[in-house]
Structure 1
Amino acid sequence: MKIRTQHQNIGAALMQIAEHDSFTAINPLKLRGEKITNAFLINTDTCVFLKYGNEPKPTGEYQFTFTEEQLLCIEEAEDHYKNVFVCLVCVEAQEICGLTVSELNQMISARKSTVVGDEESYQVLVTATQGGRLRAYTNAAGRKLVRALTPLVISRSRFPAFLFD
Structure 2
Amino acid sequence: MKIRTQHMTLGAALMQIAEHERFTAINPLYVRGNKVTNAFLINDSTCIFLKYGSEPKPTGEYQFTFTAEQISSLEDAEEHYRTVFVCLVCVEAQDICGLTADELHRMITARQDTVEGDEESYQVLITAPENGRLRVYTNTAGRRGVPALEPLLIPRNRFPGFLFE
Query: For 1:83 and 1:149, how far apart are their aligned partners in 2?
Result: 24
2:88 corresponds in structure 1 to 88
Percent identical: 72
SS in 2 for 1:20: coil
Once the two structures are superposed, residues 67-104 of structure 1 have per-residue CA deviations (whole angstroms, 9 ceiling, x without a partner) of 00000000000000000000000000000000001100
2:45 corresponds in structure 1 to 45
Paired letter, 1:144 = R
2:156 corresponds in structure 1 to 156
Deviation at 1:144, TM superposition (A): 1.5
> Number of residues paired by the alignment?
165
Query: For 1:83 and 1:102, how far apart are their aligned partners in 2?
Result: 10
SS in 1 for 2:93: coil
Unaligned 5+ segments in structure 2 are none
Query: For 2:60 and 2:106, how far apart are their aligned partners in 1?
Result: 22
Q: TM-score, normalised by structure 1?
A: 0.99
Query: For 1:83 and 1:32, how far apart are their aligned partners in 2?
Result: 17
Query: For 2:113 and 2:54, how far apart are their aligned partners in 1?
Result: 29
Deviation at 1:33, TM superposition (A): 1.5
1:57 corresponds in structure 2 to 57
Query: For 2:32 and 2:13, how far apart are their aligned partners in 1?
Result: 25
Within-5 A mapping of 1:71-150? 71-150=71-150
Query: For 1:58 and 1:130, how far apart are their aligned partners in 2?
Result: 16
Q: CA RMSD in A?
A: 0.4
Once the two structures are superposed, residues 19-50 of structure 1 have per-residue CA deviations (whole angstroms, 9 ceiling, x without a partner) of 00000000000112121000000000000000
Unaligned 5+ segments in structure 1 are none
Query: For 1:5 and 1:53, how far apart are their aligned partners in 2?
Result: 11
1:70 corresponds in structure 2 to 70
SS in 2 for 1:36: strand
Deviation at 1:145, TM superposition (A): 1.0
Q: TM-score, normalised by structure 2?
A: 0.99
Q: Which runs of 4+ in 1 moved over 6 A?
A: none
Once the two structures are superposed, residues 143-163 of structure 1 have per-residue CA deviations (whole angstroms, 9 ceiling, x without a partner) of 121110110000000000000
